[in-house]
Amino acid sequence: MKRKTIYLILCSLGAIIPYTKLLPWLAHNGLNWRLFLGQMVANDISSFFALDVVMSAAIVIIFSRLEGRQTRIGNRWLVPVALITVGVSLGLPLFLYLRERAIEDSAGKP
C-alpha cells in the first residue's frame, strides 16, 4: 500500500474516532464552551492530555511551516484548519499526505 493511501486512511480515522466522543457530548451539552473547558482540565490527568495535544498541535504547525517551505507543499493552510476543527489526529496525517504528494510531484511520479 502506498504511503499516500495510508495517510488518507489515517486522516479518516483521525477525524472519525475523536468525533465519536465529541458529537454525543455536543448533542447533550450544546456549545457550552465553559463546561467544555472545565471538563477538559477537570483534573491533573485530563490537563496532562489536553496540554499534550496543544503542544503536539504547536509542533505540527511549526514542522509543517518549515518542511512545507522546503518541500514546496501546496495547500499547507489545510493543516491548521484540520488542527482547529479536529486536532492532531487529522492535522498530522494530512500534512504527511500533502508532503508525500509534493515529493511524488517533484519526482515526476503520477
pLDDT tens for each residue of 72-82: 899 999 999 99
Q: Please, what is the end-to-end C-alpha distance for the chain in angstroms? A: 15
Amino acid at 49: F
pLDDT at 109: 56
pLDDT band at residue 106, thresholds of 50, 70 and 90?
confident
pLDDT at 107: 82
Show the 3-state SS of the chain.
CCHHHHHHHHHHHHHHHHHHHHHHHHHHHCCCHHHHHHHHCCCHHHHHHHHHHHHHHHHHHHHHHHHHHHHCCCCCCHHHHHHHHCCHHHHHHHHHHHHHHHHHHHHCCC
pLDDT at 79: 97
The residue range of the domain holding 72 is 3-107
Give the chain's domain count: 1
pLDDT band at residue 11, thresholds of 50, 70 and 90?
very high
